[in-house]
Amino acid sequence: HRASPLSSLALYDWAQEVYDQGDFVTALALARRGGAAHPESIGASNCNALASRITAKELDVRTESVIAPAKPSSLVIQYRNITTLHVRAVAADFSSYLSGKDGRNVFWSSDEYIHRILTRPPTATWTAALKPTDDYKSTSTLVTTPALKPGV
């Protein structure tokens, strides 16, 4: 007797309930099982979407409002499903940043400006190892930056 495509939907409902209770590891196992059971079913599609949500990489970086030149600083890193952070610092003109010139301001940067920043040579680079999030949950850590020159 073969299981019906409804078994994938039942596994999705189960996985979603376990996920809602905060057990992402078990929810992922159930979702993968449901996704494999009947790959063309709606239940499998839902399971695969839940598995993707659980395993998605997330990153939020926060820095101090003012960083003293030539002194190390700290970044607050909130992350999930990432084990290595690669950072590049580039020089910027702060006065034009505040004035909104060049397609950017304190609250928004244009895609064109972001592309230009990404193609500039960095003035400093560093890498930080992050503790794996084996439970697939977000966590936070502090990462120390090297001392940077003024304007970086």
Please provide the distance, in angstroms rounded to a whole number, between the alpha carbons at the two ends of the chain. Answer: 66
What is the rounded distance in angstroms from the CA atom of residue 5 to the CA atom of residue 68? 60
Q: What residues does 127 pair with on adjacent strands?
A: 86
Residues 6+ apart with CB under 8 A from 134: 25
What are the pLDDT digits (tens) for 88-127?
988 877 777 677 666 666 677 778 888 888 899 998 999 9
Side-chain-side CA neighbours of residue 16 (13 Å):
14
DSSP 9: H
What are the pLDDT digits (tens) for 27-73?
999 999 999 999 999 999 999 999 999 999 999 999 887 888 889 99
Q: SS3 for 140?
A: strand
Q: SS3 for 1?
A: coil
Q: What is the pTM of this model?
A: 0.81
- CA-to-CA separations, 77 to 64, 132, 147, in angstroms, rounded: 12, 13, 18
